[in-house]
Amino acid sequence: MNNNDINLVFTDADRLERMLRRLKIAKMVAFFCLFAVAGVSVIVFLINFTLPIKTVQHDQQQTLSNISALSQKMGKYYLINDRTTALSDIIAKRNDYPTLINLLFAKLPKELSVNTFNIANGELEFTVSSTTLVPVQSYIDYVLGIKNPRIIRNIKNEGIELTTAEGEYLLSFKAEVF
């Protein structure tokens, strides 16, 4: 064997320098990766330590239940609002019958009594009776003198009858109501 055949020492300095540069770059990349993994691990640890997942899940469930409760409350609110609107419309459209009755019978003499009182299709019919004619005339004057066109119009006396069986005078009226 010849000493010239075996070469254990690098003779090429450029080649050695390139290998050292590659080794230095590999070390830098390894340290960078080491520090990046360590940094990410520390950040994940801190996030997990400050905001545990169970707390986040609990807050999420609580928020969802609050939203659900608010949704039910809003549903009730809309239902109640709809009902009050419908009731307001009904009240606005309905006739003021208590005022009408008070108007007609406020000055009803005690000798007179109401026999019938019907309101249908915007028309009012009622009869009163008495055993004497004295209070009948004053009541006729009162009823025919009522002037309230928002509640009642065209009041007409339909006539007076004498019922012989009871000995009573029946007084009938018709009018338009609003």
For the chain of 178 residues, list the mean pLDDT of each consecutive stretch of 10.
Answer: 58 80 94 95 86 79 85 87 91 80 87 90 90 86 83 86 85 87
At 84-131, the pLDDT tens digits run: 999 998 888 877 788 888 888 888 888 899 999 998 888 999 999 998
pTM to 2 decimal places: 0.48
Of 119, 137, 127, residue with least CA distance to 161: 127
Compute the distance between CA of residue 137 and CA of residue 135 in angstroms, rounded to an integer: 6
Of 152, 174, 172, residue with least CA distance to 97: 152
Q: What is the pLDDT of residue 2?
A: 57
Q: What is the pLDDT of residue 14?
A: 77
Q: What is the pLDDT of residue 37?
A: 95
In a domain, 27, yes or no: no
Q: What is the DSSP string of 71-116?
A: HHHHHHHHHHHHHHHHHHHHHHHS--HHHHHHHHHTT--TT-EEEE
CATH assignment at residue 164: 3.30.1360.100
In a domain, 2, yes or no: no
Q: What is the pLDDT of residue 127?
A: 93
Residue 97 vs residues 52, 103, 118, 169: alpha-carbon distances, Å = 69, 10, 11, 26
Residue found under tokens 């609050």: 66
In a domain, 11, yes or no: no
In a domain, 133, yes or no: yes
What is the three-class DSSP state of 64? helix
Domain tally, the chain: 1
Residue 104's domain comprises 97-177
In a domain, 35, yes or no: no
In a domain, 76, yes or no: no
In a domain, 62, yes or no: no
Inter-residue contact 124 to 69 (CB < 8 Å): no
In a domain, 117, yes or no: yes
